[in-house]
Amino acid sequence: MRRSVAEVSPIPISLATRSLAATFVSLALAYGIWYSYSVFLVALLREFGWSRSVLAGAFSIFTLVHGAAGLPLGWLADRVGPRRIIMVGGALLGLALCLDAAATRPWHLYVTFGLLTSAGVALAGWVPAVILVQRWFPHRVGTAIGITSSGIGTGIFLVVPTCQWLIDTVGWRWTWRIAGLVLCAWIVPAALFLIKDPPRASVRATAVPLDEGLSLHDALGLPVFWLLGLAQAATSFANQMLLVHQVVYLVDHGITTLIAASVVGVVGLSSMVGKAGGGWLSDQIDRRITFTISAAAVGASIGVLGLLALSPSAAWAYLYAVLIGVGYSAPAAIFPALVSDRFRGRHYGAIFGALSVANALGGGLGPWVGGRVFDTYGTYAPAFIAAVIGAAVSTAAIWGVGRGRPAAPTPGARS
């Protein structure tokens, strides 16, 4: 019979639960800012008249920086723990959002949002959070990460419509300033007083000691690592393209900005189900089956956007929101669990962080391709076809990963 962390560790389970809950809220705030860019994009288009590829380019830089930070953050979290990293990220994020509000040129947006805000989200966000949860809950990693990552869906559901309301009320500049103050006021104290790194003794008492597992160098030599990377890149390409351009697409087809923002809120609400449910289901059945279901939902959501173009209505928009919300979100829990299945051990953070770079490459390319295609052809149709192909490629790569865990490194292997 499996033993829980509480049974094998002298550390009270309340510390793990408290850390998970605080991380849930921090992810909600940080990634609410990430996904609110779709409503800021509409406001910036109206004020400056910049092209969609220029504005999407700022988000592409954001995604690339966020993902590229994964490798050093994973390595650092393996050594100093995630808590300190999250604390620094909250402070940086508050400052960066205030600087976003001062943008008057495209390069300002590229530096403040693309570089600084992205770095703040990366430090306060996904990679440190996954490592924290994976260490606290190694036996039910899919379920635990699914619950925690559903905080992102909560952020989309609450933060994005709130940002739209604030933009309509006080303007986009003050909206970013207010967001910066709120995020800093929560994340820094939460990391200081609520979030705790799991003690080494607690983790070593679990079924998989920290001194076991493949190093990043070992992982790089395995096809499974590259297949996971390809799957992440293709998934992120499709999903981020849709999530960045969804509001402006809906507005183009006669949906009001407020309804479009509420559609994003429904995306967030659905993603809570997708993350928590997808993580739980992936612990019960083959994770590849769960992933395939999510990819099919993404493809179906693109089909619904095509129907909306033929017959614009809020009903089609909300159906799209449900499908993309479930489809894009489930991999957020499935991927870390797949990596944990195959690369558990004291180098998990570095390996997961390295794979986040692939996620960033796809996520950075997708929004820019969507904007460039629209600027060139006046339609998103070719870009959406590319997104369907991306979902199919990611599914094929996941099935190529297999179910087993790579063998332990031979004696003398590099670490």
Q: Euclidean distance between the first and final Cα of the chain, in Å? A: 32
How do the residues of the chain divide into helix, strand and coil, expressed in percent and rounded to 5? 85, 0, 15
Question: Does 281 score more than 80 pLDDT?
Answer: yes
- Quick one: how far is CA 122 from the chain centroid? 10
The predicted pLDDT at position 258 comes to 80
Could you give the CA distance from residue 46 to residue 62 in angstroms, rounded to a whole number?
Answer: 21
Any idea where the domains of the chain sit in the sequence? 16-196+216-401
Domain 16-196+216-401 has CATH 3.40.50.10860: no
Single pTM value for the model: 0.72
Question: Does 409 score more than 60 pLDDT?
Answer: no
Mean of all residue pLDDT scores within the chain: 85
The predicted pLDDT at position 235 comes to 94
Question: Does 407 score more than 50 pLDDT?
Answer: no
The predicted pLDDT at position 166 comes to 94
Question: Does 6 score more than 60 pLDDT?
Answer: no
Question: Does 267 score more than 90 pLDDT?
Answer: no
The predicted pLDDT at position 13 comes to 55
Could you give the CA distance from residue 222 to residue 173 in angstroms, rounded to a whole number?
Answer: 47
Comparing C-alpha atoms, which of 116, 67, 30, 31 is closest to residue 236? 67
Residues in the chain: 415
Lowest mean pLDDT segment, chosen from 137-151, 195-209, 293-307, 369-383:
195-209
The DSSP code for 252 is H
Please report which confidence band the pLDDT of residue 212 belongs to, taking 50, 70 and 90 as the band edges: low
